[in-house]
Structures are given as C-alpha cells and as structure tokens.
A and B are shown apart, each in its own frame.
Chain A
C-alpha cells in the first residue's frame, strides 16, 4: 500500500506519450519542414479566421440547443420512478456504443433527398426539402451525437439535489418558478458546466459530422486539421491550427470553471 514504485510505469508512459506529443504540437507549429524556427505557420492562421469563427458559432449553437433540450430531459428524468430512471439511463447510453461514424451515417440516410423524411412529406403532398448538406443538418448531427453528454452530468447533479431543500423553500412560500430559479437551477450548475464542456469541445473539433452531413459545404476547423494531416501533408500549419484549438479549449475550461471540483466530477 505504501509503494510508490508501481506508479513509475505510468509516470514514464505519460511523459513519453502525453507530455512529449503535446510539446511536439508546439514544436511543429513554430518550425518549418526543415526544422528551423519560424513564425510563418502562425502567421498563416489568419487565413483561417473565418473557419475558426464558423466552428465556434456551430459549436455554440449546438451546445445551447443541447443545453435547452438536455436540461429539460434531465429534469423530467429526475422526476421519474426509480426503475424508469434506470431504463432511461440505459437508453441514453446505448447509442454511445455505436460508433460516431455509424450514427452519423444513420442520420445521413434519413436526411437524404429521397430519404425517409422527404418520403413522408411526399405522402402528405408537401414538396421535398433540402435537408442534407445544410447548416441545419450539421447542427442536427452535432445535437444527435452529443446530447447524451449534456443530459448525463445534469441528471447526476439533479439527482444529488436534496429534496428537503425544495420542501423547505415551498414551506416558506416559494412558488414553483421561484423554487426552480432560486434552488434547482443554481444547485445544478456544476452539471450544466460539465455538460457544456463535454459538448462544446467535441463539437468544435469535429470533422466527421461536418463532412458527412455538410457535404463539403460546411467546412469546419476539424476539417482543416484533417486536410492538413491527411491530404496536404502540411504538418506544420496543421500543428499551428491545433495549437490555437487547444488555446480555445483551455479558455472554455477556465470560463466554465473546470477548476471547480464538482464540475470535474461531472465530466467523469
């Protein structure tokens, strides 16, 4: 129990495979292909300012919508009977086992021009809609894939909420709106923050969803990074863009109080 030595393999592992790779991102960002120091890659980032802006907008819209729909779902779930709660939890986690690519493909099939939705509209004599390859389909895909990550931490913090506090507020004359805004909402904020972090960061960095549901029309920062590493083989510019993305991630973490221990717990 008192042995410290057994942690050594991990300390070495994390040094080689966590710290060194992270430093390499910085190294590649500030060097050219010959390894000489340069600011050129960083100066090229300006060209992608609009892509960064677009990614942040898409991720923010998806996160806000996930928050609204997810909070409501978590709230209703927290008021179910015990066995219904566990059923809902299983149902919520089940799609997470089907991988991202497959889930996104499933959504693509439905949204296609001759997909199920447009066929149903056809039966009602409504002219078919262009659903796929639009901003709508990309945001829908983001919500579809990441909604559970918003619901779970909020549900957990609502579950922890002591019912006696709510009863006390009611006894003291608070109406249901007051109970919600003064008690339930503030006490569930750690869950909300974890949810925001867990949805915003993957939404910001996605390339699969924008590629499959945006059909090349919605070009996000994840797609730029993917192209830099898998098509143009310009690792240095790719690393510079990744560095900026890490910076945005760190800002997100600081803003949403990741330093808060309870929020930290929610992420796991």
Chain B
C-alpha cells in the first residue's frame, strides 16, 4: 500500500484520538460556561479550579493514595518476585496464576469483590479501603514487571560478594539490588499511573466520604459540567507531557553517555 495512504491513515486515527481532548482543553479558556460555543479568552476556569475545595481535596487524596499504594506495592511486589523465584515450580506457578486474577478481572469485578470482603467484615469504606484496593491491583503488575528482569540478574555476583565476606543481606543490596533498579523504577511508575488513573475500583470501595479525582469528576459531571474540569484536564496533560519529555531527554542523554 502506498506511503501517502498510510500517512493519512495514521494522521486520521490520531486526529480521532486527540480531537475530543484538545477541544476540551480549548474550551477551558472559554469566558462563558459552555463546552460548545467559544465566547472569548479567559482564565476564569483555572481560577475557579484553584478555589474549588472539593476538587483540590480529591486531588490531594489521589496523590496520597497513589504515592502510598505505589511505594507499598513496589516493596511487597519486588520482595515477592525475588522470593517466588526460589519457590518450587508448581508452587510458583500456582501463586503466579493467582497473581493474574486482578490483572485479567474486569475492574468492576475487582471492585465489587473487594467491596463484598469489606462489607462482610464490617469495614466502612474510606481512605483505608481505597488504599488496600489500590495496593491489591498494583502488586501483580509490579511482580510481572520484575520477574523477567530477575532472569537477567547475574547471581555469580551475589555469590562472589559473599565469598568476599559480605553477609547475605549486604551482598544482596550491594550486588543484586543495583541490577534490579531499572525494573523497580518502571514497576513503581506503572503502579503509580494505574493508581492515578483508576476510577472503577475506587468507585466501589470508597464509601461516601472519601473521593479521589476520578470519582469527583464522575459525580460532578452527572449534575452539571463546570469548565474547571476542562482546566484540570489541561493541567494534567501538561504534567504528563512534561514527565514524558523529561524521561525522553534523560534517556537520550544516558544513551549518548553510554555511546561515549
């Protein structure tokens, strides 16, 4: 097929994916409260966003839950991946199959099954239940991200370190851990993104008093659609872009250094 056709096709698909989001951002600069008619440039929705207690509180909640959940799940998940690699084969396989459950389950099933657990033990929905739920769906991704990297770890280094008198714990942190750092970083970022992004699981286990960004957006847009939501979308996209560009530059610089 011709090159021109493939270019046009790629452009059209990305246009389809981006047009709604870009329009949403465009209307965040609208001076009136309309998502369809532009009445002039203004920053009032950004101002309203920063005065909106409900959204700011939810933003803070989201960041707290995502940070805690990703740190805890990275620690538990990394330890699990290392420990599991020493399990007997069938035991390892059984546990890995369990690990796949939250990955494959539709979010709504993960959400209601945890809700049923909390209901059965009379645990009221709130910060703790949301945190537990996030850790639960984060850990499997951490384990699945770390496990393949473990195969490439040079275990001779671990033995050599011990031969040279290091305690096993010391040998681990000096000889093995550094080799795992890239895997751990990407696992952490993945867990963090999953937590920030989650709506469905949080929605079911949050109870009535605790909200995150996604659940607040869901409830707000059910009543009316304030354009401060658009402003929020613009800011979020800007943050993600900044991070992506930073990672890209960092990667390029690193590969250039390696090239030298």
Residues on A close to B: CB < 8 A?
A: 1-11, 13-14, 16-22, 24-25, 27-28, 69, 72-73, 76-77, 79-80, 88, 90-92, 94-103, 105-107, 109-110, 112, 114-116, 119, 144, 147-148, 197, 201-202, 204-205, 207-208, 212, 222, 225-226, 229-230, 235, 238-239, 242, 245-246, 249, 253, 258, 267-268
Contact = CB atoms under 8 A, between A and B. Distances in A.
Contact of A6 (B82, B104, B241): B82
Contact of B83 (A3, A101, A105): A3
A19 B98 contact: yes
Interface in B192-231: 193, 196-200, 204, 213-214, 217-218, 221, 225, 229
Given A6-B79, A94-B240, A245-B106, A25 B116 contact: yes
Contact of A91 (B14, B155, B200): B14
Nearest to A197: B104
B218 A208 contact: yes
Given A13-B136, A88-B10, A97-B193, A25 B23 contact: no
A13 B98 CA distance: 11
Interface in B63-117: 76-77, 79-80, 82-84, 86-87, 95, 98-99, 101-109, 112-117
11 contacts: A5-B83, A6-B82, A10-B76, A14-B95, A18-B98, A25-B112, A88-B10, A96-B197, A109-B20, A229-B115, A249-B105
A234 to B, nearest CB: 12
Given A147-B17, A202-B107, A267-B103, A112 B36 contact: yes
A215 to B, nearest CB: 12
A226 B218 CA distance: 14
Contacts of A80: 10
A105 B240 contact: no
A99 B217 contact: yes
A99 B116 contact: no
B155 A11 contact: no
Interface of B: 6, 9-10, 13-14, 16-21, 23-24, 27, 35-37, 76-77, 79-80, 82-84, 86-87, 95, 98-99, 101-109, 112-117, 119-120, 132, 135-136, 139, 141, 143-145, 155, 158, 168, 172, 176, 193, 196-200, 204, 213-214, 217-218, 221, 225, 229, 233, 236-237, 240-241, 244, 248
B16 A205 contact: no
| Nearest 7 CB-CB pairings of A with B | A7-B83, A10-B80, A205-B106, A21-B113, A106-B20, A6-B79, A76-B6
Given A90-B244, A116-B36, A242 B109 contact: yes
Given A25-B116, A77-B10, A4 B83 contact: yes
Contacts of B14: 88, 91
Nearest to A151: B13
Contact of B24 (A2, A106, A239): A106
B82 A3 contact: yes
Given A18-B98, A97-B236, A99-B217, A246 B109 contact: yes
Given A103-B20, A204-B106, A242 B112 contact: yes
A97 to B, nearest CB: 4
B112 A98 contact: no
A17 B176 CA distance: 30
Contacts of B107: 202, 205
A208 B199 contact: yes
Contacts of A20: 117
B129 to A, nearest CB: 11
